[in-house]
Amino acid sequence: MAFNPKQKILVVDDMSTMRKIIKNMLSKMGCKDLHEADDGAPAWKMIQEAHEAGIPYEFIVSDWNMPQLTGLDLLKNIRSDERFKTLPFLMVTAEAEQANVVIAVKAGVSNFIVKPFSIVTMKEKIDKIFP
């Protein structure tokens, strides 16, 4: 399934500047149905509520390091819930350590991107999630 810019996307990051940067990149890729959360905790609630309302998120772009619920914990919540097991999830992080990549892969991340990154890199990572 190729990347569909019309899909509903949730951008999760505790830094508003980073959310804006990611949303701008996605907008340049043609995405319009963009939503945001400032932490994993409200994001998890939004994901469940959107699903219950019949308008689920189709792609999650989340930071790793957040104060309440980390991106890794959000990913684990998503993967442990039968309704979201296959929900595409792109992890964004400043942590370039190989051990963290392994942890995220074991938790079921769809792909991984290290800050700072360009729109070209982001598109490449998304294209690997949606071949």
pLDDT of residue 93: 87
Q: How far is CA 33 from CA 9, 56, 69, 70, 82, in A?
A: 6, 12, 24, 24, 24
Residue 43 identity: A
Which residues of the chain fall short of a pLDDT of 70? 1
**Domain edges within the chain:** 9-117+124-128
pLDDT of residue 7: 97
pLDDT of residue 1: 67
Give me the CATH topology for the region 9-117+124-128.
Rossmann fold (3.40.50)
DSSP 28-42: HTT---EEEESSHHH
Alpha-helix residue ranges (DSSP H) falling in 1-131: 16-28, 40-52, 71-80, 98-107, 119-129
